[in-house]
Structure 1
Amino acid sequence: MRKLLGLQYLRGLAAVAVVLFHAAGRSGLNFHAGEAGVDLFFLLSGFLMVAISGPDTRPLAFLADRVRRIVPIYWIATSVMLAAALVGAFPKVRLEADHVLASYLFVPWTSPSNGNVWPLLVPGWTLNFEMAFYLLFAALLPLGRQVRQVAALTLLFAGLVTLRPLLDPTNVLATFYTDPILLEFAGGCWLGILWKRPGDWPRWLGWGSALVALAAVGWVAFHAPQLPRAIGFGIPAALLLASILALERRAAIGEWRLPLFIGDASYSIYIWHTLAISVAVRIGWRLDLPQAPTIALGIAGGIAAGLAGYLLIERPILAWFRERRYVRGVPVPAGP
């Protein structure tokens, strides 16, 4: 499988959108549309897992590859956050041993700092979903045909979502793993199934439909924020992904170095940006900067920290792993 440039651009777009959301939020401005970056990440993850796997993929090998891709960088960033909290750099952060342990183990846990179901490193809440998805995906690999596997996964997620109203809302694990956002992984998987089938995609899918998808996200953010997330953001994100895949099928996407670099670094941007934004926003406050420059400083700091993390930490770690194993095919790395 060749490297899909359009998907890397989407990964970069998703990461930058989340940076915008958090930088604006830390400065008192609600950029709700930026949250859709997470929904796009989940759809991309579902697509990519189908795209890079097949009937011969072994569950343990698949999981080992996912662990190598996700865990080391996340654990390093979580450890930096823990160290900073221990020395008082984040005075509002309360540390409790069970919450810290759950953060490292990808177990949803209520944060003692704010009462939200967030790990110590806040962006890690999406990785709790990601790791659960990888486990289920690997468990269903023995079903053989990918259509059968994805159908079973979809039924499982739909069943969990259906059970949600019947469960105790105070049960963290029950409410977390019955969130309708799970269906976005399934949606991405079905796009992966379609991608592997020969033939042209509908001509109406292309740059025009991609712009419609982006406009829909903006409309939902400003006019219908009360919509369920899997509908309000998930459906436009799925349309955006389908549009880019249709363009990939027609070889209509060229190579642009800066967006490709940001896409390659998207996981590191996502992991490191909140720490950098916290520092950048504090600098803005110390300098008594107005809101707009403070947000800009946070955005620049978040992206810069992610790019540095990619060059200095993520890329060397991945290269180290690649040197020690034989990889069949050309993998496309998946983000959170």
Structure 2
Amino acid sequence: MKTLYGIQYLRAFAALAVVVFHAAERTGGHFAIGAAGVDVFFVISGFIMWVISDRRPVTPQRFLLDRLKRIAPSYWLVTGIMVAGAIAGLFPNLQLSAGHLLGSLFFIPVRSPSTGEIWPVLVQGWTLNFEMFFYVLFAGALFLPRAWRLLFLTVVFGLFFAAGLIWDPQSAALATYTRPIILEFLGGVFIAELWLRRKVAGTSLGLACVGAALCGFAAIYLMGAEFDEFICGPLAMALVFGMVSLETGGSIGRMPVLTYLGDASYSIYLWHTLTISVAVKAAEILGLDGGLTLLGAIVGGTITGVAAYELIEKPLRKVFSGEGLKRRDLQRRPS
């Protein structure tokens, strides 16, 4: 798939928004709207999966295996670090149980014994429970002819959403899979279909969509409004639709730093909270004020994520894609 720089930039900004959100939360600040980076990620996920499956046909089994190889190894590693830290007493508020740990590792929503919230051991991993849910449904759609897939996803996501409205399920799994936020994946799929059919907006309307989305997010922040999936979801969809429209019109060029941060966004998302915790503790010891602590937490969390991308995610990706084995095999063959 050709690199869409607008999507890469959105991935970068979404990851950084989540970093700022968590850093502000830990230092007494307020940037709740940063959590909307997750909404942008979900829309992008739906967009990318639909485009990839259209451009590079794949079996349902291969699709799921590729997705697991992409997200699971790094996530399991960070979760392992959290577990080790809890056993060592570094995270005194983190309570462990076998059921919660197994649910965390296998992307099954389980209530945390620490808080009662539907969170895995690595709290931000809650989004991966939604991602895996989407991947499973998407794999199901791949069993069907191309013409039926969009209808299948629309009906299934609609049924889960309707079930949540009607029955208000209390089990952790059903309470997760029936949340309105699941429709953001479907929104991304629809945007991708429009993009593939070249039915996106022109440059002017694309810019208007981006501007309206950013103004909407800014208004939520300035008013201190509650995080609402019914508002943030459509804003995230407008933002993604606007960006792909601008790119189609040739209005977005390549910016290496943002492109790179987009590539590293998953590692930034996974690893940043560990550094934020260390930065906040160090600031308490050193007696730093809130502003410096916030800045250090943001910079430190981002740098840690970038380092993890280079030193962990990229090597793991090569291992699980077989690139390393292929390279060694070629080196062993006589010339």
Report if the CA contact (8 A) 1:17-1:35 is conserved.
yes
1:101-120 residue CA offsets vs partner (Å, 9 max, x unmatched): 11001011111111111000
1:42-90 residue CA offsets vs partner (Å, 9 max, x unmatched): 0000000001003842101111110111111111111111111111111
Structure 1 partner of 2:296: 297
Q: Which amino acid aligns with 1:300?
A: V
Structure 1 partner of 2:120: 119
Pair 1:94 & 2:95 matched? yes
Structure 2 partner of 1:5: 5
1:258-306 residue CA offsets vs partner (Å, 9 max, x unmatched): 1111111000000001111111111111112111111111111110110
The aligned runs of 1:274-285 (5 Å cut-off) are 274-285=273-284
The aligned runs of 1:1-336 (5 Å cut-off) are 1-54=1-54, 56-145=57-146, 148-167=148-167, 169-198=169-198, 201-223=201-223, 225-226=225-226, 228-229=228-229, 231-324=230-323
Q: Which has the higher contact order (CA 8 A, sep 6+)?
A: 1
Distance in 1, matches of 2:205 and 2:284, equals 45
Query: How many correspondences in the alignment?
Result: 323
1:105–1:322 distance in 2 versus 1, CA, 3 Å? closer
1:324–1:225 distance in 2 versus 1, CA, 3 Å? same
Deviation of 1:209 after TM superposition, in Å, equals 3.0
Report if the CA contact (8 A) 1:205-1:242 is conserved.
no
Which has a greater percent of helix? 2
1:10-38 residue CA offsets vs partner (Å, 9 max, x unmatched): 10111000001100001122311101100
TM-score (normalizing by structure 1): 0.91
Distance in 2, matches of 1:68 and 1:252, equals 34
The range that moved more, 51-60 or 99-108, is: 51-60
Identity %: 43
1:116-137 residue CA offsets vs partner (Å, 9 max, x unmatched): 1100001100000000100110
Structure 2 partner of 1:334: none
Q: Which amino acid aligns with 1:63?
A: L
Instruction: Tell me the SS of whatever aligns to 2:53.
Output: coil
**Bigger Rg over Cα:** 2
Q: Which amino acid aligns with 1:272?
A: W
Instruction: Tell me the SS of whatever aligns to 1:142.
Output: coil
Distance in 1, matches of 2:129 and 2:227, equals 23
Distance in 1, matches of 2:186 and 2:199, equals 22
Report if the CA contact (8 A) 1:85-1:93 is conserved.
yes
Deviation of 1:322 after TM superposition, in Å, equals 3.6
Distance in 2, matches of 1:286 and 1:198, equals 56
1:309–1:227 distance in 2 versus 1, CA, 3 Å? closer
1:188-240 residue CA offsets vs partner (Å, 9 max, x unmatched): 000111111135633433334313211111212343734731x2111111111
Cα RMSD for the two superposed structures? 1.8
Q: Which amino acid aligns with 1:320?
A: V
Q: Which runs of 4+ in 1 moved over 4 A?
A: none
Report if the CA contact (8 A) 1:220-1:233 is conserved.
no
1:154-178 residue CA offsets vs partner (Å, 9 max, x unmatched): 2211211111144354321221110
Q: Which amino acid aligns with 1:101?
A: L
Distance in 1, matches of 2:319 and 2:205, equals 39
